[in-house]
Structure 1
Amino acid sequence: MEKRYKYLVQPLNIYFLALSNYIPEKALPLIEYLINKHRVTLKIVGQRQTKHGDFRSLPNGKMQITVNNNLNPHQFLLTLVHEIAHHVTHTKFGRVQPHGKEWKTVFQHLMLPFLKPEIYPLSILPHLANYLKNPKASTDTDVNLSLALRYGVAGEGKNFIFEIPNNGIFKFKDVLYKRGNKRRTRYECLNLSNKRTYLFNQNAEVILIE
């Protein structure tokens, strides 16, 4: 089945057949249970630069989750459960801090059954377990988990910042930079337009200028 659709629709057997293209096979029964239990409305959308997914309470009273269709199965699964946790938190507690203690507790509880080597490989599992001790709004803030979830490979035509040679020139968001030295966990990079130095996380994806 090709990934051309944007909506997951009824009947349920078609709904979950579609979803099986996006998440690890062994995770499907657990996700099916969560979607049925919490009556989740899921929309799969095109890539967005600023987020992998989101949760919205719509003006008509309905609640909707969206997840980007360009994510690999392990990224997609984590993002989906992240957003289901928002759904459950909103239903249970109403208006609270988006990634506050209520959401953290719900997210940890929902993710626990997925922490299995048949769902997440051992290259990801320890980093994921560590992240879930105190989950943040974005997995990108956890460099080790972020790199593991991407299987250590940057997007097409891009490089991770640590792959750029020292003093190498790269483009990030249409701005040219020169890579400098590593400062603990981040890299000093000179903006060639304003001559100011910025710190880049190791998992930043940039375009090397030959």
Structure 2
Amino acid sequence: MVRIDILRIFEKHLPGDAVSYCYDLWKTYQFVFIAATPRRTKLGDFRVERGTDFTITVNNDLNPHAFLITYLHEVAHLLVFQRYRRIGRPHGPAWKKMFRDVMQPVLHEAVFPISVLTPLKNYLSNPAASTGAHPALTRALRQLDIKPDGQQLLVEMPEGETFRFLQKEYIRGMKRRTRVVCTEKTTGLKVSIWAHVWVEKTE
């Protein structure tokens, strides 16, 4: 991918004071980066293809601070793989340490507002697979979102309510940790959707 294209993606999606750091990581480790269409079950991912090609994706609807955390979360996966040449436990001790290390250069108030920085530092003391497992950090990040018109967070919707998400209609079910089990109306299939996505309530 052309370098100027990557830089423009970072300038669009990241806090300004984090752009050069994130761009330098991309230049150093040379992976394919995609600001992806939002997905039902994940905010980002890291993939190894043919053993040598690496791809990192981050959902393009995240606010800049959530985008940054997710990007560095996935970069940490890449660095662990490059060091050990295996995936191992995806969110085990090696990844936790690497994630803390790659986050360190942006852990200051020029990048994060104090409302996010405080719970973020707490979360990083023992980072989980998803920031959704840390309620205080999740709330702080969501407060920075621009609420889409006519939408609400899935986690705040009562059980049994119907909603539209990614062009499909669902019935809200029970929350299980960081996700909500929902039923697709047309097929009756049970699907797991991240609890803190914006959804459109339907009648």
TM-score, normalising length: structure 1 = 0.73
The answer to whether the aligner puts 1:143 opposite 2:139 as a matched pair is no
* Counterpart for residue 158 of structure 1: 151
Shift of 1:61: 2.6
Pick one of 95, 100, 111 that aligns with 1:103: 95
TM-align CA RMSD: 3.0
Contact kept in structure 2, 1:143 and 1:202, CA below 8 Å: no
- When the two structures are aligned, how many residues end up with a matched partner? 180
1:59 aligns with 50
Which letter maps to 1:28? V
Aligned partners of 2:17 and 2:110 also within 8 Å: yes
Q: How does 1:24-35 map to 2 (within 5 A)?
A: 24-35=15-26
Tell me: CA distance 1:171–1:47, structure 2 relative to 1, closer, same or farther (3 Å). same
The verdict on how the C-alpha distance between 1:140 and 1:124 changes in structure 2, with shifts beyond 3 A counting, is same
User: Which SS does the other structure have where 1:97 is aligned?
Assistant: coil
- Residue by residue over 1:24-45, the C-alpha shift from the partner in whole angstroms, topping out at 9 and shown as x without a partner, is 0100111122112222321221
Residue in structure 2 matching 1:83, options 47, 56, 74? 74
| Gap regions ≥5 residues in structure 1 | 1-8, 179-184, 186-190, 192-200
How far apart, in 2, do the equivalents of 1:62 and 1:69 lie? 22
Cα separation, 2, equivalents of 1:91 and 1:40: 12
**Higher helix fraction: Structure 1 or Structure 2?**
2
Q: Larger relative CO (CA 8 A, sep 6+): 1 or 2?
A: 2
* TM-score normalised according to structure 2 size: 0.75
Q: Select 2:123's aligned residue among 122, 125, 131.
A: 131
| Residue identity opposite 1:83 in structure 2 | E
Contact 1:147 1:203 in 2 (8 A): no
User: How many percent of aligned residue pairs carry the same amino acid?
Assistant: 32
Alignment of 1:149-188 (within 5 A): 149-151=141-143, 156-160=149-153, 170-171=161-162, 174-175=170-171
**Can you list the C-alpha shifts for 1:123-144, whole angstroms capped at 9, x where unaligned?**
1110111110000111111111
Counterparts in 2 of 1:152 and 1:81: CA distance versus 1, 3 Å: closer
CA change 1:114–1:203 in 2 (3 A) is same
